[in-house]
Structure 1
Amino acid sequence: MVVRTSLDPPGGSVVGQPVRLHVDVLFPGSMPRPPRIRLGDAPGAQILRFETQGLTLREAIDGQPYVGQQFEFVVFPRRGGAIEIPSAEITLLDAAGDPAGSARSAVQRIVATVPPGLDASGPVIAATAVTVSQIWEPDPGQARLAPGGALVRTVRRGASGIPAMGMPDLAFSAPDGVRIYADAPRSEDRINRGAVTGERVDRVTYVFERPDAYVLPAIVQPWWDLAARQARSETLPGVTIAVAAASSEARQRQGRTTARAWVAGSALLGALLLGVLVWRLRGRRIARWRPWRTNRAASGAAALSQLRRVAQRGDPGATYAALATWLGRMPADTRQRIRADRRIAPLIDQLERALFGPDGGWSAEQGHALRNAVIEVHRTVRRPSDHPQRVDLPPLNPPWPRSKAGHS
């Protein structure tokens, strides 16, 4: 057996630039079954794997025919300097699919540089094109906010050749007196003739606690232009929000209403106090409900519900993205058990072949089957067995297009 690794590009890279790591596993004569492969974490880098099925290889080594598979990982350096990529752990399988041995690949090392003018401490992206935009709801120029009011900021980022999961998190901040609630990021990647354009949407809600003038800061997206070899940045401006207390006229109306209530007698006074009590309880329930809603949107249950809705439509791209989001909210060992479960693994493999293979297909019937399998598997992982199955596959991630040049 032959195990070899390579990097693309083979030399150094800049912070945020994707580097493809190829791991080839070749067998003399024939391959009983494709091996399992996993790659550990690399401090200072983000490692993603976008496909479960590898590329089939056939070649001659020293005059002898070999057959095997090439597996691809993508490494995003997040700091400058040398970064060591650990060896891949390979589990060999016999014809029945049982473990028959193990092997390891060589350790790889990449050196990431920080070009002049680029701040590596920020959410750096390295691409040929980057776009950013934002939407405020309601319009800050027309909004009339009182304490307890909210303002929603939606930021959309696009990058050529970078999937949404390869875009670092933005840092949202606010002054004292403003609370921030962040939704789970949304991926809207697009693939056109094998080229990916990553689209990530971040949505945060600012809640103002008291009257004052607040400055919500700008957001800066630094990036390295791979084509022009130049540091650039995109800025989304902040806004100034005036949160006003109740007006004097409103306070006078409240006073007259209170006076009439006292004149009306004890019955009306009791009704007024009851109304105030209900109002205060309602405010507390709303304050508790907002963080609950935010946590709910970022929970595995919400991701599962979304996956069930999307899968039955038969759209492979949307199904794959929803599946990746659901698995991404699971603990590592749970993701592994789900991915290896025989009820769901064949359907995921078919879904990936439909997206990345030359002859794959995906139908609404398969979408219904995946939905039902997800429901059954979810019930199983909620009641794990005493002897969970060990899985060596890494977690599922969103699709990464394979270019011909990357496998030459």
Structure 2
Amino acid sequence: MKNILMLFFIFFSWITLSSAETAPISVRLNDDTAWIGQKVSFFIELRAMGSFSGSARFDLPQVPGTIIIKVGAPVVSSEEIDGQSWFVQSHEFALFSQQAGTLKIPEFSVRFASRAGFSGPANDVQTTFPGMKVEIQRPPGSEKSSFLVTTQSLEINEIWKPTPGPVEAGAIFTRKIAQRASELSGMALAPPSTDVPDGISVYVKNDEIADKTERGDFLGQRIDTITYRMTKAGNFTLPDVVYSWWNPITRKIEKFILPAVRFEVSPAPGSKTATRQGKMLYVWVLLALTLLSFALWQKTFIVEWLRQHWRELNPPDKILAENFLQACAQNNSASAVTFWISWRNTQGELFKPEPELQSAVFTLLRHRFGPEPSGFWQGDLLALAFTNHLNMEKEKGSEKKGKVLPELNRKNFHPA
């Protein structure tokens, strides 16, 4: 019995040791040398003693000038390791880099779940991608600062809406550039050029990426939509757009050129009028600022001048007369007395009211200050007498002004 237990312990320890020595992750890289912009395929293989559960998660790193994407769905298989059967889940990735030299992909976390056998609860497993290196070569004859991809074929076409031609300022054109390449992702293809001359505004819409994988062949597509707006009149030219790629079969740099596009832009209707209006607005604003500055500088003088002219246009006796008539119209005896006394004080010592006005004023005073109340007071008679007085004073003033010229004429008259 003891021998049987010993054999079982040795067998279990051997299985456990074999499982511990087998890493849950490995990396398979078909080729560690590639051209700039060329697809580099590598595979991450996950291993477990039982079936996998759910989807694996990869914390892909951000590498300057490099794109790493996952390709397709994982492939599940099994393999024998030290007499043990392991489940293997293989994930394909594609790498595209614009950085020449030794490219280092750092470690990153990988998480997945597996069961003990085909059933039972899933156990989470966290492991680490061990990192890898790839040598990226720059094709001979290529410029160090140029964007370059590696492919056997690159198709490029463009569509303009509307077709470029003579237009007016404010016109808008839309340009769609489509790129298709084998063994490339659309994400790895060149972005559109935004070089435009002064007088044209450019807006780039988010690119459309459509990658396809058929029977192991990788086909990438990128569609860029660019909008141009003619902001002013003139003749403008969009430069050539040059797309370059390295053909690994012919070992040559090939190019495709979208030709330059020219625009003849005339002024928009009403633009000259708008310009003149803008200039006139500028003149008026400048004049207003000048007047404001002068007003602030001569504030005291201007305020005094305005007060003087206000007094000339609205003398105290005129304002008091208006208030007096308003009090009479409202039959307000108290206010009428107050404004009458104030107005009377502006007329001087020689003032003597007409009998009609004097009688109406006495009636007002008896009502306010008599020994017995005289009932309700109406101010219409007093208002009428006061208005007649003002009219007579105006006529007297006009007669005095009219007599001045004849006297001057007599002095200057010489009979023949």
CA contact (8 A) 1:41 1:86 kept: no
For residue 81 of structure 2, what is the aligned residue in structure 1? 61
Match of 2:230 among 183, 202, 208: 208
- Tell me if 1:126 matches 2:150: yes
- Tell me if 1:70 matches 2:84: no
- CA 97–221 in structure 1, closer or farther in 2 if over 3 Å, else same: farther
CA distance in 1, matches of 2:61, 2:123: 20
- CA drift of 1:117 comes to 2.2
CA contact (8 A) 1:44 1:79 kept: yes
Structure 1 residues not aligned, in runs of 5+:
255-272, 274-408
SS of residue in 1 equivalent to 2:187: helix
SS of residue in 1 equivalent to 2:167: coil
Matches within 5 A, 1:272-351: none
For residue 309 of structure 2, what is the aligned residue in structure 1? none
- CA drift of 1:50 comes to 2.8
- CA 91–194 in structure 1, closer or farther in 2 if over 3 Å, else same: closer
Structure 2 residues not aligned, in runs of 5+:
1-21, 278-416
User: How many residues in Structure 1 have an aligned counterpart in Structure 2?
Assistant: 248
CA contact (8 A) 2:79 2:85 kept: yes
Larger Rg: 2
* Offset from partner CA, 1:126-150 (integer Å, 9 cap, x none): 111111122222222xx22111012
For residue 399 of structure 2, what is the aligned residue in structure 1? none
* Offset from partner CA, 1:285-323 (integer Å, 9 cap, x none): xxxxxxxxxxxxxxxxxxxxxxxxxxxxxxxxxxxxxxx
CA distance in 1, matches of 2:267, 2:57: 61
- TM-score, normalising length: structure 2: 0.54
CA contact (8 A) 2:245 2:254 kept: yes
CA distance in 2, matches of 1:123, 1:106: 30
CA contact (8 A) 1:20 1:72 kept: yes
- CA drift of 1:228 comes to 1.4
- CA drift of 1:161 comes to 1.9
CA contact (8 A) 1:76 1:166 kept: yes
SS of residue in 2 equivalent to 1:242: strand
Letter in 2 for 1:60: E
- CA 68–241 in structure 1, closer or farther in 2 if over 3 Å, else same: same
Letter in 1 for 2:77: L
- Tell me if 1:115 matches 2:136: no
User: How many percent identity over aligned positions?
Assistant: 23
CA distance in 2, matches of 1:163, 1:32: 29
For residue 7 of structure 1, what is the aligned residue in structure 2? 29
For residue 70 of structure 2, what is the aligned residue in structure 1? 49
CA distance in 1, matches of 2:141, 2:84: 52
For residue 106 of structure 1, what is the aligned residue in structure 2? 130
For residue 377 of structure 1, what is the aligned residue in structure 2? none
Letter in 2 for 1:11: D
CA distance in 2, matches of 1:97, 1:83: 40
- CA 68–192 in structure 1, closer or farther in 2 if over 3 Å, else same: closer
CA contact (8 A) 1:13 1:113 kept: yes
SS of residue in 1 equivalent to 2:206: coil
Matches within 5 A, 1:205-284: 205-245=227-267
CA distance in 1, matches of 2:150, 2:42: 17
CA distance in 1, matches of 2:175, 2:256: 17
- Tell me if 1:150 matches 2:172: yes
CA contact (8 A) 2:169 2:268 kept: no
* Offset from partner CA, 1:174-193 (integer Å, 9 cap, x none): 01121011122123445554
Letter in 1 for 2:229: V
* Offset from partner CA, 1:264-295 (integer Å, 9 cap, x none): xxxxxxxxx9xxxxxxxxxxxxxxxxxxxxxx
- CA 162–108 in structure 1, closer or farther in 2 if over 3 Å, else same: same
- CA 214–124 in structure 1, closer or farther in 2 if over 3 Å, else same: same
* Cα-Cα RMSD: 2.8
For residue 110 of structure 2, what is the aligned residue in structure 1? 90
- CA 156–101 in structure 1, closer or farther in 2 if over 3 Å, else same: closer
CA distance in 1, matches of 2:237, 2:222: 25
- Tell me if 1:80 matches 2:107: no
